[in-house]
Amino acid sequence: MADFHGVFPYLVSPIDTSGQIRTDVLARLCDDLVKAGVHGLTPLGSTGEFAYLSHAQRASVVQTTIEAAGGRVPVIAGVASTSTADAVAQAKAYQALGATGILAIMEAYFPVADAQVESYFRAIADAVDIPVVIYTNPQFQRSDLTLDVIERLASHPRIGYIKDASTNTGRLLSIMNRCGDAIRVFSASAHIPAAVMLIGGLGWMAGPACIIPRQSVELYNLCKAARWDEAMVLQRKLWRINEAFAKFNLAACIKAGLNIQGYPVGDPVPPQAALTAEQRKAVEQALRDVA
């Protein structure tokens, strides 16, 4: 299985007013992130607005990211659907495009029992020959991955990672204790990345890394070197970005930050709204604080 670790920015999906993916902007962002030292790229995560994109738009985002990465770093493509068959089709398509891994997300309209949650993720992992990262974000999802389901999924030969955005760091430690090396944990921006690294995390997959990639990589390197005092000084500084990210709309915040930095990624996909002028100023201030 591929060795995923480190900082994986959750990429935005730049879209023009006609609905076309701004592939040139996305490619430049990906190239700059790789040059900044990130360890991988994750298109179609939460910050990528996967829930608001068409199949063609999603495929364009994934293909552009893979081409821009050029094999320099792994690309873990997000797969999400309310339908198991559709999720499987997406996973197969992204593997065919050259994705290094799949980030499996479950959407749900009606509540789904544990057995059906498990079967959804198993079906995705059964359909591909590349590693699968299972993702849970109970703040936004109607169905969650319970500890029992996670433990059972850890037995699948291609499910070796989880990204948990529950905000419950104790839950991460429970996953580690139950699953050992069978499933390894990535932090989300909802957690304190340095704290997750301290208890045994691999790194983090998060939107803020799009706008502070070098600082994020520096924090990761300090954690890997067990220079915890220095890591926490930097972590406290960078947490201002996480606070803004949590306070405002996910994609709107990161897109605003990228627009400020000279990447014309556009506004969030409707019906989401762009940040207000006052909110944008808060993001600008946060960026200045961590520069």
How do residues 207-239 score in pLDDT, each as one tens digit?
Answer: 999 999 999 999 999 999 999 999 999 999 999
How far apart are the C-alpha atoms of 158 and 104, rounded to whole Å? 12
The CATH architecture that domain 6-227 belongs to is Alpha-Beta Barrel (3.20)
Class of residue 115 by CB neighbours under 10 A (exposed 0-12, middle 13-18, buried 19+): exposed
Report the chain's mean pLDDT, rounded to a whole number.
Answer: 94
Question: Does 156 score more than 90 pLDDT?
Answer: yes
HSE on the CB side for 272, CA within 13 Å? 20
Task: Round to whole Å and give the CA distance between 76 and 42.
Answer: 5
Task: Give the strand order in the sheet containing 159-164.
Answer: 6-9, 203-206, 184-187, 159-164, 132-136, 101-106, 76-81
Query: What integer pLDDT is reported at residue 202 of this predicted model?
Result: 97
How many helices (H) and strands (E) are present in the chain, helices listed first?
Answer: 11, 7
Q: Which residue has the tokens 């891994």?
A: 101
pLDDT, position 257:
95
**pLDDT score recorded for residue 212:** 96
Give the model confidence (pLDDT) of 24-59 as tens digits. 999 999 999 999 999 999 999 989 999 999 999 999
Residue 138 DSSP label: T
**Closest listed residue to residue 118, CA positions, set 106, 130, 110, 108:** 106
CB atoms within 10 A of CB 271: 6
Contacts of 132 (CB under 8 A, 6+ apart): 101, 102, 103, 104, 121, 124, 125, 156, 158, 159, 160, 161
Position 276 pLDDT exceeds 90: yes
CA separation, residue 159 to residues 63, 125, 241 (Å): 23, 7, 31
206, pLDDT greater than 80: yes
Closest CA relative to residue 78, chosen from 49, 109, 56: 49
285-289: long-range contacts, CB 8 A cutoff, minimum separation 24: 286/240, 286/241, 286/243, 286/244, 287/211, 287/212, 287/241, 287/257, 287/260, 287/261, 289/237, 289/240
Both tokens of residue 21? Answer: 């993916």
pTM here is: 0.96
pLDDT digits (tens, 9 = 90+) for 79-120: 999 999 999 999 999 999 999 999 999 988 888 999 999 999
pLDDT score of 141 more than 70: no
Question: 3-state DSSP call for residue 258?
Answer: helix
Q: Phi and psi dihedrals of 162, rounded to 5?
A: -140, 140
The residue among 105, 92, 130, 106 whose CA lies nearest residue 4 is 130
